[in-house]
């Protein structure tokens, strides 16, 4: 019994003299805690959309390593966004999903939704939602279509479904009639 209480007193003395975290449990150095804190801040900041401009996209691209998925996404985003009409650029939310990482950029209210996705080494850029029918019309000039019967019919249907002006629809119907007459 005396041996048992002596052992208890020795253990108690050791615990009081040497705090448990210095020899019983591994502890993290302040440097490790600092690195974790920085990572947490970076995760929190990456959830805040960056301002969407061509300059911001190019600056973000330069910061990424060459050959990386995010750099490829940013390169495609900058290339395509530079061609967008002002009506898109001034009111867009661009989301990049690249190799498990998500970044967001925002201009205006972010009503035109642009998605840039990296899948199996290929990047795609798409305007997923147009805020206003005028966006469709403004983007028509960006990708000229070949003059054919099917392209005129397709544009006429798109303009009608986007509530395009009656004047524009009338012009497209006239072009369609002329095309049919000449064939």
Q: Which residues contact 138 (CB under 8 A, 6 or more apart)?
A: 85, 86, 87, 88
Contact 108, 91 (CB under 8 A): yes
Task: Tell me the C-alpha distance between 34 and 41, whole Å.
Answer: 11
Predicted pLDDT at 160: 82
- Residue 139 CA: distances (Å) to CA of 85, 86, 89, 143: 7, 10, 11, 7
Predicted pLDDT at 102: 94
Q: What is the DSSP string of 93-150?
A: EEEEEETTEEEEEE-TT--EEEEEEEETTEEEEEEEE-SSHHHHHHHHTTSPPP-SHH
**Chain-centre distance for alpha carbon 54:** 14
**Chain-centre distance for alpha carbon 10:** 61
User: Residue 96: pLDDT above 90?
Assistant: yes
Predicted pLDDT at 94: 97
* Residue 7's pLDDT band (cuts 50, 70, 90): low
Task: Tell me the C-alpha distance between 171 and 57, whole Å.
Answer: 38
The structure's pTM equals 0.62
- Entry field: residues in the chain: 183
User: Residue 12: pLDDT above 80?
Assistant: no
pLDDT digits (tens, 9 = 90+) for 23-77: 444 455 555 555 555 544 444 445 678 999 999 999 999 999 988 899 999 999 9
Dig out the tokens for 183 from the structure.
């064939």
Q: Summarize the confidence of residues 157-177 as an average pLDDT.
A: 82
pLDDT digits (tens, 9 = 90+) for 108-124: 999 999 999 999 889 99
Residue 127's DSSP bridge partners are 114
Q: Summarize the confidence of residues 73-88 as an average pLDDT.
A: 94
Predicted pLDDT at 139: 82
């Amino acid at each position: 019994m005396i041996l048992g209480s002596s052992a208890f007193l020795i253990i108690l003395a050791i615990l009081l003299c040497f705090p448990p975290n210095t020899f019983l449990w591994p502890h993290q150095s302040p440097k490790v805690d600092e690195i974790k804190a920085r990572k947490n801040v970076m995760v929190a900041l990456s959830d805040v959309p960056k301002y969407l401009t061509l300059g911001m996209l190019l600056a973000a691209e330069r910061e990424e390593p060459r050959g990386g998925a995010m750099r490829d996404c940013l390169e495609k985003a900058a290339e395509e966004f530079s061609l967008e009409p002002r009506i898109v650029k001034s009111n867009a939310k661009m989301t990049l999903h690249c190799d498990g990482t998500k970044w967001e950029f925002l201009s205006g209210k972010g009503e035109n939704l642009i998605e840039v996705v990296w899948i199996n080494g290929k990047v795609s850029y798409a305007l997923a939602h147009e805020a206003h029918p005028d966006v469709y019309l403004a983007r028509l000039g960006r990708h000229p279509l070949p003059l054919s019967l099917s392209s005129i019919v397709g544009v006429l249907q798109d303009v009608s479904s986007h509530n395009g002006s009656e004047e524009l629809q009338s012009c497209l119907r006239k072009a369609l009639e002329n095309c049919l007459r000449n064939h």
